[in-house]
Chain A
C-alpha cells in the first residue's frame, strides 16, 4: 500500500541527546514536510523540501536539522539545542504543486 511511514511512533530520550525521526514515503511525491504539534495547538512547520538535496527552513527550524538525500526519505534530527523538544511530530508529503498533502501517523517524542 502507498503511504507515509514514520518511525518510531513513541520515543523517549534524555535531555541533551540528539534523536532522529524517520519519514519514508512510497507515493513518488516530490515535496516533503516536517511539522511539530504541541498539546492543544495547531501544526507548526519545521522544515520542508521540494526536491532531493534541497530543503528550506520553516517557521521553527532552530534546534532541528534535516537531510533529503533520496526522494523517498526526509529524516528529522532533533538536536540538544532544541529547548522544548517534547511534542508530536508529523511528516507529510505532496505531489505536484497545489496537490493535497498527506500525513504520516506521527511520532511522539518525550524528552526527560
Chain B
C-alpha cells in the first residue's frame, strides 16, 4: 500500500530557529515528491523533487530527496512567524498509467515571536 509518513507531527520553535521536517515514503512507480505549505485554505506548492541528492532552494527554504532511503527533508532557516503553517509532503506514483498523489499527515509548524 502506498504510504507517506511525516515527522514530527507538530513542532513549536522560536523565531530565528532553523527547523527540519521529515518525509518518508513507499509508493508504486515513484515519479516525484512534492512539498506544500497549507495555511488556512488550499495548499500552496513549494518544491517538486525528482532526483536524488539535488537540493532545491527558495529563499530560506530548501529541500532534498534521497531515493535510495525513500526520504526527503524540508529545511527552513531563520524562521519567521509567517512560516507558521501545516507543511504537507506528497509523493506521486504511476498506477496503470494514471498519476496518483499520496499525502502525508502533515507537520504543524508554529513559530513563536
Contacts and interface: CB of A to CB of B under 8 A. Distances in A.
Interface of A: 31, 33, 35, 40-45, 48, 50, 56, 58-59, 90, 92, 94, 97-98, 100-106
B100 A97 contact: no
Nearest to A6: B42
10 nearest A-B pairs in the assembled complex, by CB-CB distance: A42-B105, A103-B42, A43-B103, A50-B98, A42-B103, A42-B106, A98-B31, A97-B99, A105-B42, A106-B42
Contacts of B4: 42
Contacts, number: 65
A42 B42 contact: no
Interface of B: 4, 6, 31-32, 34, 41-43, 45, 48, 50, 88, 90, 92, 94-106, 108
Contact of A101 (B34, B50, B105): B34
A106 B41 CA distance: 7
B45 A100 contact: yes
B99 A98 contact: yes
A94 B34 CA distance: 13
Given A43-B88, A97-B94, A102-B45, A35 B34 contact: no
Nearest to B107: A42
Nearest to A50: B98
A95 to B, nearest CB: 10
Contacts of B50: 98
B88 A31 contact: no
Given A102-B45, A103-B42, A31 B106 contact: no
